[in-house]
Chains A and B, each alone.
Chain A
């Protein structure tokens, strides 16, 4: 009995020449929970945005049929009208409005612009009962935890007579209890005949809830299979998810690894807002001189949170644990203290956290080490210029002059400015968060060369990356992190994409 509610055929989508989706096909049966799996950047979210009309009809290739009709959505409103509702990872509720107001936002129970509050609250209460949320509809949303907010989102979807509910990483921000409740609710909705697409990294969750799973890799469908099959194992999903070709070449390098330089012991970090959520859970690791250590983790695993909390407590609350440099305990309570102790952290989002985009190259390179080009608070601009010019030459930053505004440089050159800035602070320990994100292949190779050179000069280098081939090609040792815990440590010789992905998805049962 094949009853297909959604059929997406040969979907392709390009972003300025880069193919994000390349002929993806997807069939979803009515009344099923259909999981979509894939690495970071595989194209899952893009596919859902195509489906829901975030990318309007005509901006992508291929055909979509919903309930046997070809769709031509031009906005989210169009798809919602047909009963397709997408709930994003970052919840889109207005914190100061009540639950009821949020549920009917944009869809108010009104006559001629005047809201019928009795009806609003009554209807909202019915919807809350359906999702199992025992709260007064008049409660402001900001008083709810993330788990309950998620339920409000689902209630909102139900209010729109949803037929196909899409959940993007619904449990990524939830604790175990809330996750279980949410999965139970999805089960319950399935019994009521609502079809569900769930995007998730958590394979245990998928095994628990999904009827069918589709795996996407590099913008292509790898396979779709029923979870009822005997060979529908986590291992099979992992095998299909990884296996990105080793398309980037790595500069040759002979590691010369020395003594331990940096050690982190029992590092715990709580979420800055939700103080019950442990974001980094008892992490302990070390890095030696001349060693490149990789950190592998899926989105939301806590990689960046770990790095930022170590670097001057730039993230999180209730941080506990100890840091050692060359065997001696150090403190890094502020960014300037961390820099003084020889730590450097090149952020994942260089535009938001790494660069002053309206400043020139010179200002950016000297920004974290102005004390090195100034005497008693007065900057020697000639010395500063010489420093910047030196890095422009040695790092091969392509710009008309070091007076060029960094906002106008390409991603690769911006990243070289960020690296120059941190190298100029004279660090012993460098943490590089996604150092090649959004950079073309040629510039990537150059960045790898810089990273190798740093290790060759005896620095301890930590590289955080979503690209497993990159981690395997670059690192001497790789830690895997999942839900805030270090779940595995793999030496370069033993590292395969499968083994890493196994640890990266080894969530709690």
Chain B
């Protein structure tokens, strides 16, 4: 398998501190920013931000951004953009509502139909982008108009409400509770803590075995303790409100699943390779057209899921649903450290970016800051986050 060129290939010096993605300072930077923002608003609101009801709200109200951001980060890593997701959210909401109220579909059949609609929408856009070669900006801008228009056609300008309670529960319901504090929520929290500890410990063991650079034991364990405490604090807070939000379970599955897809699968690797250097990916035999196609199919399905979640949370389908959702998702991805040139970005970063935006929303709302000013502040945060990224890269002598 290997070939020997010099009799004894001199071992390079002991591995330095550079290296694995796991020590990405940028990611800790954005996590630290989230903590600072949370603490800031906790102080400014006199402790109201982290009241159980508000925590529950932050999660349920921002679930759609987080779901969209997961799909969007893959789109952006590959060097594209998707402006249509807000309209897709509205379209899927309309289809779901009509299928349940007019066609009498059960709630789960409506969810499956919604995801299929999302896949078809994604395949439509993916076809034009991947196989015809039209820039994603144009295709999804057209999609933004078309799907919004189709929503208006379907809803004929009106609103459809009276959705089945099971459907509404997806976005605003919780798992059953056992009382206060709710043992199910605490149990899930405990399982999550055990999962995090075991997986981190195992990946550390692997790094050690491969003699790759690992961080010091002290900082490793301190970090784990902080994460464990944070998870249990969240579980405790939720357990004293309405219990475990169903949407949080869905989000956890998505984050784990897509982190796996991006880090561990050939598909994920091809996305990074194409974003990093399209020419090199082509010359390495990556089937770039199909990868692009499936990135957009996937985005369509996730946009549909976001549509289901936000429609269920609203309890009704309206033609104006999902407005500016694409901008929230794109902002979340860039705040989360993705690169405008493509090739860089993580699911967890995008989710943290989405949470930064969500906490800002919630905190500013509690402080009853005017909605107009909220937009100004969010815009500034996006600009500063990306500016910080670019300036710090320049300083560290990046390209």
Contacts and interface: CB of A to CB of B under 8 A. Distances in A.
A393 interface: yes
Interface stretch (B64-72, B79-87, B262-270): B262-270
- Which size class do B's interface residues fall under? 35 or more
Contact of B266 (A312, A370, A404): A370
Interface string B205-244: 0100010110000000000000000000000000000000
A235 interface: no
Contact of B19 (A345, A357, A398, A401): A401
- Which size class do A's interface residues fall under? 35 or more
B283 A353 contact: yes
A345 B279 CA distance: 13
A474 to B, nearest CB: 15
A423 B2 CA distance: 8
A381 interface: yes
Interface string A390-401: 111111101111
A2 B273 CA distance: 61
Contacts of B181: none
B376 interface: no
Given A353-B283, A354-B283, A382-B210, A396 B10 contact: yes
A84 to B, nearest CB: 34
Contacts of B270: 370
A390 B284 contact: no
A354 B280 contact: yes
B4 interface: yes
Contacts of A454: 3
A100 B303 CA distance: 50
Contact of A345 (B11, B267, B283): B283
B19 A379 contact: no
A6 interface: no
A396 B277 contact: no
A188 interface: no
A367 B281 contact: yes
Contacts of A399: 12
Contact of A393 (B11, B213, B266): B11
Contact of A450 (B5, B264, B265, B266): B5
A358 interface: yes
A314 interface: yes
Contacts of B213: 401, 403
B18 A358 contact: no
A453 B4 contact: yes
B399 interface: yes
Nearest to B4: A394
Contacts of A355: 277, 280
Interface string A312-327: 1010000000000000
A351 to B, nearest CB: 8
B2 A371 contact: no
A358 B287 CA distance: 20
Contact of A377 (B1, B6, B18, B267): B267
Interface in A355-403: 355-360, 363, 366-368, 370-371, 374, 377-379, 381-382, 385-387, 389-396, 398-401, 403
Contacts of B269: 363, 366-367, 370, 379
A395 B283 contact: no
Contact of A400 (B1, B13, B282): B13
A382 B205 CA distance: 12
Given A354-B280, A377-B266, A450-B5, 8 more contacts: A352-B280, A363-B269, A367-B269, A378-B264, A378-B265, A379-B266, A396-B6, A401-B19
12 contacts: A334-B285, A352-B277, A354-B280, A354-B283, A355-B277, A368-B285, A377-B265, A377-B266, A379-B264, A381-B263, A393-B9, A453-B5
